[in-house]
Amino acid sequence: MTSEEKTPRQFTRSREQKILSGVCGGIAEYFEIDANLVRLGMIIAAFASAGTAVLVYLAAWMIMPE
């Protein structure tokens, strides 16, 4: 293994970027982007999908480790 290869990161909820449950913050930390952009995208997706995105968020809340 070369020094440039990293060990796989775990997909977890955030403890620092937490407003409701840390799901959006965890996604932002995993992809190294701003948490507010993920939250905005989640709000847009919730309206565009007639609430299906909210169900996906709730499922992620239950499945993702903290």
How many independent structural domains does the chain possess?
1
**pTM score of the predicted model:** 0.81
Does residue 42 belong to any structural domain of this protein? yes
Does residue 17 belong to any structural domain of this protein? no
Does residue 53 belong to any structural domain of this protein? yes
Residue keyed to tokens 């409701």: 20
pLDDT of residue 41: 96
Sign for the CA dihedral angle at 46, 48, 53, 55 comes to positive
pLDDT band with cut points at 50, 70 and 90 for residue 2: low
Does residue 1 belong to any structural domain of this protein? no
Does residue 15 belong to any structural domain of this protein? no
Q: What is the pLDDT of residues 17-40, one digit of tens each?
A: 888 899 999 999 999 999 999 999
Does residue 51 belong to any structural domain of this protein? yes
Does residue 56 belong to any structural domain of this protein? yes
